[in-house]
Structure 1
Amino acid sequence: MIRMVLADDHDAIHLGVGALVETEPDLELVATATTGEAAVQLVASHHPDVVLLDLSMPGRGGLWALGEIRRSRPRTGLVVLTSDGRVATQRAALEAGADAFVRKDGPVEDVIRAVRQVFSAPRQPQGRRRILNP
């Protein structure tokens, strides 16, 4: 079972990803967050295998949360779920510790594929599992 935390400030993403995960027998959504701070707290308390993380959220935001999660739980898979396709954004997320990127406007199957690939990918130094664009 792949345990996941979802961090995004849009209800539609929570509902959509939640419904999608319910159809997959090997996935479990253990918690959801709407801010970067809440995401960091939920990861610390739930110890998920993979975090789906939006970069643009209220408060300190997803990029901050990405770095905090990478430092505190280096073996947790980090999948950025974003509508921002700019190279600079991807570069900043990579530097903060992202393992993979999924576009919100892409096929919904990409989310599941990214989660599974990041979960099963061999770990690199510091626990990272670099997939980039599944």
Structure 2
Amino acid sequence: MSDVIRVLLADDQAMVRGALAALLDLEPDIEVVAQVGSGDEVVEAARGATVDVCVLDIEMPGSDGIAAAAQVRDELPGVRSVIVTTFGRPGYLRRALEAGADGFLVKDTPATELAEAVRRIHAGLRVVDPALAAESLAEGANPLTEREREVLRCAREGLRVAEIATRVHLSPGTVRNYLSSAIGKTGAATSTQAAQAADARGWL
């Protein structure tokens, strides 16, 4: 049975994980051999179960799916990964591919298409949701710097400038400059709106 593709599922929602596992296990050439509920568990579980393909959600406790894909690429070079998420955001797609993911699909993809994607990714191909790929190309690259993303993530939590400055170890004036730049790049009126706009595009 060496031709069976061994799959790991990572999703913090047990019901979603169970449903995906049940659907994939119906395929004669695919077997779900590991399931985890956080990004931090992916590499160890994949290594322990001798996994071929990791199917990763994005938003999970600990490391998110994009960080987990990067870890898989760095630590398990023979293992491939695909992001399957509810959040079909162009910025997420770009970040996932840059992190080393081999595929990116949204969760309403039919089960037969997901199984076929797993096969193609295992064969060394890249599989990306076509509508999302077109949207990502149209939108272009994430314009925010890492520092701008960092201060916007703090603003998203509702922190004030002084609180952000303390957290990221910068002066309040420097934080204001980063926020101002991010506001300009997102076309927003306030830092809170900028954080929301960037989040909606998958830039954070």
TM-score under structure 2 normalisation?
0.59
Residue 58, structure 1, aligned to residue 58, structure 2: no
Identity %: 38
Partner of 2:47: 44
In terms of fraction of residues, the more strand-rich structure is 1
Partner-residue secondary structure (3-state), 1:101: strand
Matches within 5 A, 1:64-75: 64-75=67-78
Matches within 5 A, 1:47-126: 47-121=50-124
Distance in structure 1 (CA, Å) of the matches to 2:23 and 2:108? 15
Partner of 1:3: 6
For residue 47 of structure 2, what is the amino acid of its counterpart?
A: A
Aligned pair partner of 1:132 in 128, 138, 157: 128
Q: Could you list the runs of 4 or more consecutive aligned residues of structure 1 that deviate by over 3 angstroms after TM superposition?
A: none
Q: Is the 2:33–2:49 contact (alpha carbons within 8 Å) kept by the matching residues of 1?
A: yes
Distance in structure 2 (CA, Å) of the matches to 1:86 and 1:17? 21
Deviations 1:84-122 (A, max 9, x none): 11111000000100111121122222211110111123x
Distance in structure 2 (CA, Å) of the matches to 1:55 and 1:84? 8
Q: Is the 2:88–2:106 contact (alpha carbons within 8 Å) kept by the matching residues of 1?
A: yes
Residue 12, structure 1, aligned to residue 15, structure 2: yes
For residue 63 of structure 1, what is the amino acid of its counterpart?
A: I
How far did residue 62 of structure 1 move? 1.5
Q: Is the 1:102–1:110 contact (alpha carbons within 8 Å) kept by the matching residues of 2?
A: no
How far did residue 11 of structure 1 move? 1.5
Q: Which runs of 5+ in 2 are unaligned?
A: 131-204
For residue 107 of structure 1, what is the amino acid of its counterpart?
A: P
Max Rg structure? 2
TM-score under structure 1 normalisation?
0.87
Q: Which runs of 5+ in 1 are unaligned?
A: 122-128
In terms of fraction of residues, the more helix-rich structure is 2
Distance in structure 1 (CA, Å) of the matches to 2:89 and 2:64? 17
Distance in structure 1 (CA, Å) of the matches to 2:18 and 2:63? 23
Distance in structure 2 (CA, Å) of the matches to 1:15 and 1:61? 19
**Count of equivalent residues:** 127
Distance in structure 1 (CA, Å) of the matches to 2:33 and 2:66? 21
- Highest relative contact order (Cα 8 Å, sep 6+), 1 or 2? 1
Distance in structure 2 (CA, Å) of the matches to 1:33 and 1:91? 24
